[in-house]
Amino acid sequence: MNGSNQSEQACQAFVDWLDRRVVAAGRGDGLDRLEVAPSGTFWLGRLACEEEVQKAAGDERSERLDPCAIGIRLRPSSPPSWSMSVIVRARGWVKDSKDGPDPDKRWWRTGLVEEKVPVSVGGNGGSFGSAQLAAAFAAVGAPGLTAEVRVEVEDWHQQTELVVQLVNTSPQKGVTDSHLYETELEISGLATVPFQLESLPDSFRYDRAVPAYGVNVGVDEVAPGVFRSTDTVSVQTRRPDYWDRTYPKPDLKFSVLAHDPLPQLAKLVDALAQYDDTHWAPAALDVRHDAEGWTDAMRAEADASAQAVFAELDRLRTGLALLESTPALLRAFQLMNEAIGDSTRDKYPDWRPFQIGFLLSSVRFLVEPAEEAAYVDTVWFATGGGKTETYLGLLLTAAFYDRLTGKTVGVTAWSRFPLRLLSLQQTQRFADALASAEIVRQDHKVGGAPFSLGFLVGQAGTPNKIVPTATAKDDEVTPESPGVPDKYQVLLRCPFCRDENLDMRFNRQRWMLEHCCKNENCRYANRALPVYVVDQEVYRFLPTVVVGTLDKAASISLQQAMRGLVGPPRGSCSEAWHGFTYADRARTPNGCLVPNCQGSLMGLPIDETRFAPTLRLQDELHLLRDSLGAVDAHYESLLDHLQHETSGSRAKIVASSATLTGYERQVDVLYQREGRVFPQPGPRAGESFWTVPTAQPLRRFVAVAPRGVTLEHVSDRTLDTLQRCIRELIDDPARVCAEAGVDPKDAEMLVSQYGTNVVYGSTLYDVEAAGRSLGSNNTVEGINVEQLTGQTEFDEVRAILERLEKPEKDFTDRVHVVAASSMLSHGVDVERLNTMVMLGLPLTTAEFIQTTARVGRSQPGLVYVLHKIGRERDAQTFRHFGPYVRQGDRFVDPIPITRRSRRVLDLTIAGAVAARTLMLREPASKQRLSTPEKLRVYLNALGLTPQEEADAVAAVFGLDGAEDSLHQQQILDWLKDWFADLEDPTLKTNFMSEIGPTPPMRSLRDVEATAPIHD
């Protein structure tokens, strides 16, 4: 057994032990006595008495919160009557008098009641075993506790269903505690047929059969025809293998593809063709159609999928042919592989086949950009499968191709993330890849400016600009502002040498905020790294890749220097390190963005049509929904329009998504383009040419429906138990390792891998409450809690990530619990995070998929999903939790999005008019149009009318059809007011943004508080 397999087996055994301990804490297993009432302590296996539940509100929701019954729902295979054997297991808790044997712990746990109740029932149902169970409870020391097996027959369904329940019929008064504990129900001897999962349609890929459903519990079929209730629902997923070993695997090492890629790429394409013919040819589908009894709809679905699969194969063949026939593309591909190989630092030596498959299917956009711009290519692969590296491969190929074909400066790719706070780890990965590409560029003497990275997130993260102290206004950042420059450190380490000793400096001569490496042996020792984190520096230097948040696109309507992200700047400054210039303004009279610059305007170093971005990358496409998606749809169209008008081209758009559900419509609404996805799903769930399942554990999902106590109590006790287990492992490794069945030499590794827990909340309130509650309610001393949310300061995020990736030597000093919001679920990759407690089911299945993928990335993970069982959606998901996890993407709702929301249009008209003025009219006018007076004179001379501009804006937004007459009138009415303001001699503003009924949005996020989504 090799070391990695042994480590994985130790981790899986330890996860088993942790789960047993958490379930025991929830049920009371192994405890003999308690100081406090068990009804306020335990959350699993307990049943309130029926009388108490009936006296309460009496609705279904309240019954789920503290039920009096558990049950199993079955479909008998024959008509009545039916016979079965039902085994009931339960305990009670009894309170001694004050002078009992243990005055400090007066509550004691009874022996186990385990009774087999024979059941024979007709069409009217019935109750069974009451006297038998009452006698059994009395025999273990709990007289007065009673229960019965109750069978209800529901014959109004398509097929008759039996609900077999254990009901607590104990009296509410007359016993010290009327609850039953550690309850379990087991049914055998009844012939049944499976249910068909109602919430999902038939599909040729999936099995919808469900043997039984639980009522307030989960159900395991422990043997054929034997059904047993479970207090939690546990689902084990398996780690995939990224190659089907049926086919000879091509050598996809970075070093091989950097030297001689074509033979290996041909092997990959040939293997894919063979697989597709085997599994997707009409004859293969005919065999499955007959064997599996497909319906006509299932066959039609399979035929459509086969057509998409073979179209994908054709794209790979096209990509391979282009590499063979286009020397510049082949060289760019080879240089990219050398760079990625250097960037990984031997962490892994080769590509996963799907990554190379995507690159092959996509590279056509570099050679035939106009045709490929009509499509949005979406990478759809399990989180943790390597989507970011795939992005980087495509991005570096494009960057090298740009350099090799004459684009020696300017933005190759603008990569945008939908969250408010861009992940520093994502940014570091981009920086590492670009640094390696720059080393390769220098070594191979590829011309052009150094490859560089821009960080464009807005004032909440890094400064829009840095101004001289003497002229600073309000909250503008100056070189002397508190925390400058250190608070704006974005990189976690030097991307060239990976040394963590970075120095932040403000270079007054160049007027730049610089990351500098202090390692004397680094290629960039003691000089500024090619990374720009101030907005104006991004505009001045137009880095090769710009990463940023989605909402920053709103600046296209506010900042004329944003023109460099859609087209050519005005020119270059004659002063060294001042960079590109833009329109004249009061503070920048010569167009240079460096304060007090005395330089002169120079021409551009390349053809102005080459400045536009080659690529726009959109991460987490599924998050562009509702009002945010509607606003972004307008701004995406605006970006396309501006780029086409300034450069005659459109950027290629590549995206990633956690779901395929409804992606075609989403892409059409967002980008007015056709959507394509890679890779196409395989012929069966969980397997395709690109991935096959293995026996290796990935994550164990444990669904918990707390009973009788608050969700916060369960969260606290779960985390408390997990932390107690780790401390026991530290204090007594021999005993714990023996209990868990692992080698004691693995103890230190297990402490590292499972010593930090994540508690995840969908809202900021949940996250903050979890942190406070754990700090005050835990029984384990010294639990260190840190928060990671969109509100966490930049430098604090960096410090927390550093502590997580390189934990303190002493366990007591480490971060033990991370309370996190959605920030965690996008781009935060810490291999030590392997346990999670989820506070309620997230609002969307896509969020559930993304969030839980942050644990168990390299070792077996453990995820507790605490359902807010009073909510109908949580209750339904708990009922079919197994299929929910295994077929997660099928439970994702189609993305709700429209570009025809009139409330959203109210917010975006101003941005389109302002952007067209700044980016198109002002450069064309050869003069400043920064004040209403100057703009009025120019537009009057131009003869522009409200109707002409309204028609142009409607066309930009794709609202120029016959069905859009109301939107067109809305735009015209707005522009009539805008022109009226412009002509008003009493107008008292010098700012363009104050003309018209509404100002341009300052952030795309502004919509979230102001505009509900509707057509």
Query: Is 264 domain-assigned?
Result: no
DSSP readout, 342-380?
HHHTTS--B--HHHHHHHHHHTHHHHSHHHHTTEEEEE-
Parallel/antiparallel/unpaired status of strands 571-573 and 580-581: antiparallel
Rounded Cα distance between 409 and 629, Å, is: 32
Range in 66-80, 699-713, 788-802 the model is least confident about = 788-802
Final residue before a domain boundary, out of 891, 912, 939: 891
The pTM of the full predicted model, rounded to 2 decimals, is 0.90
Sheet containing 218-223, strands listed edge to edge, beginning at the edge strand earlier in sequence: 113-121, 82-91, 181-188, 226-230, 218-223
Q: 53 near 165, Cβ under 8 Å?
A: no
Q: 859 and 974: one domain?
A: no
pLDDT range class, residue 420, cuts 50, 70, 90: low
- Domain hosting 983: range is 902-1008
Q: 61 near 142, Cβ under 8 Å?
A: no
Q: 544 near 555, Cβ under 8 Å?
A: no
Does the pLDDT of residue 1013 top 50, yes or no? no
Final residue before a domain boundary, out of 208, 230, 252: 230
Rounded Cα distance between 560 and 932, Å, is: 16
Query: Is 852 domain-assigned?
Result: yes
Q: 742 and 774: one domain?
A: yes
pLDDT in tens, 694-716: 999 999 999 999 999 999 999 99
Task: Kindly report the average pLDDT of the chain as a whole number.
Answer: 92
pLDDT at 3: 58
Q: How many of the other CB atoms lie within 10 Å of CB of 626?
A: 19
pLDDT in tens, 173-196: 888 899 999 999 999 999 999 998
Segment 892-906 shows an average pLDDT of 89
Final residue before a domain boundary, out of 494, 509, 529: 529
pLDDT at 656: 87
Token code pair at residue 85: 């054997």
Does the pLDDT of residue 1015 top 70, yes or no? no
pLDDT at 1011: 33
Does the pLDDT of residue 1010 top 70, yes or no? no
Across 218-222, 890-894, 926-930, the highest mean pLDDT is recorded for 218-222
Q: 885 and 906: one domain?
A: no
pLDDT range class, residue 828, cuts 50, 70, 90: confident
E runs forming strands in 231-372: 232-241
Q: 78 and 149: one domain?
A: yes
Does the pLDDT of residue 421 top 60, yes or no? no
Q: 877 and 941: one domain?
A: no
Look at residues 940, 1011, 948 and name the one whose alpha carbon lies nearest to residue 976: 948
pLDDT in tens, 471-489: 998 889 999 999 999 999 9
Token code pair at residue 177: 């505690």
Q: 952 and 865: one domain?
A: no
Rounded Cα distance between 254 and 264, Å, is: 11
Q: 780 near 720, Cβ under 8 Å?
A: yes
Token code pair at residue 337: 């592989």
Q: 874 and 910: one domain?
A: no
pLDDT range class, residue 1012, cuts 50, 70, 90: very low
Does the pLDDT of residue 545 top 70, yes or no? yes
E runs forming strands in 554-610: 571-573, 580-581, 601-602
Query: Is 807 domain-assigned?
Result: yes
pLDDT in tens, 594-648: 999 999 999 999 999 999 999 999 988 888 888 889 999 999 999 999 999 999 9
Segment 342-352 shows an average pLDDT of 93
* Residues in CB range of 730: below 8 A, 6 or more apart: 747, 751, 811
Q: 881 and 919: one domain?
A: no
pLDDT in tens, 438-467: 999 999 999 999 999 999 987 667 899 999
pLDDT in tens, 938-983: 999 999 999 999 999 999 999 999 999 999 999 999 999 999 999 9
Look at residues 15, 39, 13, 19 and name the one whose alpha carbon lies nearest to residue 28: 39
pLDDT in tens, 44-71: 999 999 988 888 766 677 788 899 999 9
Sign (positive/negative) of CA torsion 476, 482, 484, 488? negative
Look at residues 872, 866, 877, 880 and name the one whose alpha carbon lies nearest to residue 60: 872
* 878-884 long-range contacts, CB within 8 A, separation 24+: 878/218, 878/233, 878/703, 878/705, 879/213, 879/214, 880/197, 880/199, 880/210, 880/213, 881/218, 881/233, 881/235, 881/701, 881/703, 882/210, 882/233, 882/235, 883/197, 883/200, 883/208, 883/210, 884/845
Q: How many of the other CB atoms lie within 10 Å of CB of 202?
A: 13
pLDDT at 419: 66
Parallel/antiparallel/unpaired status of strands 835-839 and 861-866: parallel
Query: Is 237 domain-assigned?
Result: no
pLDDT at 2: 56
Look at residues 515, 485, 483 and name the one whose alpha carbon lies nearest to residue 500: 515
Token code pair at residue 931: 């004040």
* Residues in CB range of 714: below 8 A, 6 or more apart: 26, 43, 704, 706, 866
Q: 859 and 965: one domain?
A: no
Q: 789 and 916: one domain?
A: no
Rounded Cα distance between 727 and 735, Å, is: 12
Q: 928 and 818: one domain?
A: no
Segment 988-1009 shows an average pLDDT of 81
Report how many domains make up the chain: 4
Parallel/antiparallel/unpaired status of strands 69-74 and 161-168: antiparallel
Rounded Cα distance between 120 and 664, Å, is: 54
Query: Is 349 domain-assigned?
Result: no
Residue 1: give its domain's CATH number.
Answer: 3.40.50.300
Q: For residue 485, is the peptide bond before it cis, meaning its omega torsion is within 30 degrees of 0? A: yes
pLDDT in tens, 204-223: 888 888 999 999 999 999 99
Query: Is 6 domain-assigned?
Result: yes
pLDDT at 1009: 42
pLDDT at 697: 94
Residue 807 CA, distance from chain mean position = 25
Q: 836 and 955: one domain?
A: no
**φ, ψ of residue 878 in degrees (nearest 5):** -60, -35
